[in-house]
Amino acid sequence: MWVKESRNPKFAKGIYVVADVGWRDHTVTSDESLLRPIPSFGDLSLSYALGVLGMPGMTAYFGLLEICQPKEGEVVLVNGAGGAVGSLVGQIAKLKGCKVIAFAGTEEKCRWLREDLKLDFVYNYKKVADQEKAIREAAPDRVDCFFDNVGGEAFTAGLCNMKILGRVSLCGAISIYNAKGEEVKGPYPNMLIISRELKVQGFIVYGWLPKWGDAIKEMIGWIQQCKVQTKETVTEGFENMRAAVYGLFR
Ligand SMILES: NC(=O)c1ccc[n+]([C@@H]2O[C@H](COP(=O)([O-])OP(=O)(O)OC[C@H]3O[C@@H](n4cnc5c(N)ncnc54)[C@H](OP(=O)(O)O)[C@@H]3O)[C@@H](O)[C@H]2O)c1
């Protein structure tokens, strides 16, 4: 949003902010906590504030680098890999010298991940009969870092392939967001987590808000050096927002 009028010097007229104020074309607020001024992105698009240089980008950055702490030569598994978060996780993992196993749900996304982003093993989860087996074949020595966007059966498939002392970053569970309580039963992975000595950590990206500034600067550098690519899905028209959001779940 663009600040049209302001009596708060921290939010001067004319600056752009990301505003957590709901779906609206105008708003009046005195609650500073709802507004995040957009820093300078140089010659990059302002729209990146909603993607690679905003919440999804920071989710990938901190969820991978802070929780999984991938090291050169390690194996990183990411699902939802064609999405805003997952595609950045795969690329940052490659930047860190890791081997990446990725799952996405369309041939177009898989081609992009394989051919443009050069991820090592890419699978269309809608066509793979057994995700657990596919991961095992890609990483016979198992997985060091698992970034889970999907949850449910995809979570189990990843967890079963973890190395001892592996790190699991629980980012999302989009496969079960719409499930009713009864439909989400098990697994009960306690023994697996204990015996493989896994670190499993959920997170909410806003917990790292004080560190976003430095991360955004690093991400801008990666984009400018063509080390990170980003794609945007743009929906035109305020009246089409509802359809755009529902589209994420299909
Ligand atoms: N913890 C946090 O702070 C935080 C912050 C941001 C986002 N998230 C979570 O991170 C995840 C990814 O977010 P995003 O912004 O990158 O999403 P996104 O890719 O823009 O959209 C979600 C994608 O998930 C895939 N998907 C939908 N249903 C699925 C299913 N049943 N099984 C497997 N994949 C499915 C779809 O891609 P396909 O075509 O590949 O099926 C869809 O495009 C979401 O779970 C989101 O809630 C968490």
Q: Find how far residue 171's CA is from the centre of its chain.
A: 7
What is the per-residue pLDDT for 180? 79
Query: Average pLDDT per run of 10 along the chain, which is 250 residues long?
Result: 94 94 93 92 93 97 98 98 97 98 97 98 98 98 98 96 98 91 83 97 97 97 96 92 87
- Give the neighbor-by-neighbor strand order of the sheet with 121-124: 121-124, 99-104, 75-78, 143-148, 162-170, 199-202
pTM given for the model: 0.95
C-beta 134 within 6 A of ligand 1: no
Which residue ranges form the domains of the chain, and what is each CATH number? Answer: 55-205 (3.40.50.720)
Instruction: Give, using CA atoms, the residue closest to atom 42 of ligand 1.
Output: 248
Which one of 85, 106, 148 would you pick to mutate in the ligand 1 pocket, going by the greatest count of ligand atoms within 8 A of its CB?
85
CA of 204 to the centre of ligand 1 (A): 14
C-beta 204 within 6 A of ligand 1: yes
CA of 21 to the centre of ligand 1 (A): 22
C-beta 84 within 6 A of ligand 1: yes
C-beta 82 within 6 A of ligand 1: yes
CA of 68 to the centre of ligand 1 (A): 19
Cα distance between residue 241 and residue 233, in whole Å: 12
Cβ–Cβ < 8 Å for 171, 148: yes
Cα distance between residue 114 and residue 179, in whole Å: 31
Cα distance between residue 149 and residue 174, in whole Å: 7
C-beta 94 within 6 A of ligand 1: no
Cβ–Cβ < 8 Å for 95, 71: no
Which pairs count as long-range contacts for 121-125, CB under 8 Å and 24+ apart, including other chains?
A: 122/81, 125/79, 125/154
What is the per-residue pLDDT for 29? 95
What's the CA dihedral at 66, 155, 204, 27 to 10 degrees?
A: 130
CA of 86 to the centre of ligand 1 (A): 8
C-beta 56 within 6 A of ligand 1: yes
Instruction: Give, using CA atoms, the residue closest to atom 5 of ligand 1.
Output: 59
Cα distance between residue 200 and residue 195, in whole Å: 13
CA of 149 to the centre of ligand 1 (A): 6
**3 state DSSP class of 163:** strand
Is 60 exposed, middle or buried (CB count within 10 Å of its CB: 0-12, 13-18, 19+)?
buried
CA of 227 to the centre of ligand 1 (A): 23
- Phi and psi angles of residue 115, each rounded to the nearest 5 degrees, phi first: -85, -40
What is the per-residue pLDDT for 178? 86
CA of 104 to the centre of ligand 1 (A): 10
What is the per-residue pLDDT for 182? 74
CA of 151 to the centre of ligand 1 (A): 10
